[in-house]
Chains A and B, each alone.
Chain A
Amino acid sequence: GQNIDQPTEMTATEGAIVQINCTYQTSGFNGLFWYQQHAGEAPTFLSYNVLDGLEEKGRFSSFLSRSKGYSYLLLKELQMKDSASYLCAVSETDSWGKLQFGAGTQVVVTP
């Protein structure tokens, strides 16, 4: 089994930076994913980390430390449209498609 923990909610101001932490305990590991999900919509892929380090993609960056079972998603220059749930997910060792998700972190961006 896998335990994936992330904060329930975070609030930040437009233009600011927010860091969403995710810790996981798994028997195997084949990558960590971050997805964004707006209310009532499907999750959309943000990032994938399989090696330690930082992956940067525009305003979003994701970091992974496999030895610590830790990842974070960094959202810079926050915009109102970034208000959404951010899901951390871990892939089992034998297939990328079988993702184990955390409960999600609701990010609220205020003016």
Chain B
Amino acid sequence: ETGVTQSPTHLIKTRGQQVTLRCSSQSGHNTVSWYQQALGQGPQFIFQYYREEENGRGNFPPRFSGLQFPNYSSELNVNALELDDSALYLCASSRGDSYEQYFGPGTRLTVT
């Protein structure tokens, strides 16, 4: 059974650019949640996908968008990057009927 994987590991972008981050969920998991973690802070909930539909959203602007695919992998897209978007982006997968989430290693995004 493979765990949650994310790509890329690190990414450097310029302000105003767009970025796509990817997450492969753990086998058997149909729910993916995305979080943003700024340095020295706890993760902040961005949104969740359940069976390819958005299933809740945190306090993030519309330029943060996502997708979930039939194999339950997921993408996070961020448009018009701002300096404050620099953070560790974590995805976590779970079964819809379980409280346990398993986090991926994260993507470290730096916006210059």
Chain A residues with Cβ under 8 A from B42's Cβ?
4, 87, 89, 101-104
Chain B residues with Cβ under 8 A from A89's Cβ?
42
Contact-residue size bin, chain B (C-beta under 8 Å from the other chain): 20 to 34
B2 within 8 A of A: no
> For the complex, what is the distance from the CA of A4 to the CA of B40, rounded to whole Å?
15
- From known contacts A96-B94, A96-B98, A97-B92, infer whether A43 and B45 are also in contact, taking CB-CB under 8 Å: no
B residues at A contact (CB < 8 Å)? 4, 31, 33, 35, 40-45, 48, 50, 55-56, 58, 90, 92, 94, 98-106
Chain A residues with Cβ under 8 A from B92's Cβ?
97
Chain B residues with Cβ under 8 A from A97's Cβ?
31, 33, 48, 50, 55-56, 92, 94, 101
Q: Which residue of A lies closest to B4 (CB)?
A: A42
Q: Are A91 and B33 in contact (CB under 8 A)?
A: no
Q: Which residue of A lies closest to B103 (CB)?
A: A42
Q: Fill in one digit per residue for A84-109: 1 if any B CB lies within 8 Å of its CB, else 0.
A: 00010101101111111111100000
> For the complex, what is the distance from the CA of A102 to the CA of B101, rounded to whole Å?
17
Q: Which residue of A lies closest to B55 (CB)?
A: A95
Known: A45-B100, A99-B35. 10 other contacts (CB 8 A): A31-B99, A42-B103, A42-B106, A43-B43, A91-B99, A92-B56, A94-B56, A97-B50, A101-B35, A104-B40
Distance in angstroms from A57 CB to nearest chain B CB is 13
Distance in angstroms from A3 CB to nearest chain B CB is 12
Contact-residue size bin, chain A (C-beta under 8 Å from the other chain): 20 to 34
Q: Are B102 and A45 in contact (CB under 8 A)?
A: yes
A13 within 8 A of B: no
> For the complex, what is the distance from the CA of A31 to the CA of B56, rounded to whole Å?
17
Name the residue in B35, B45, B98 with the highest tally of chain A Cβ atoms < 10 Å from its Cβ. Answer: B45
Q: Are A41 and B99 in contact (CB under 8 A)?
A: no
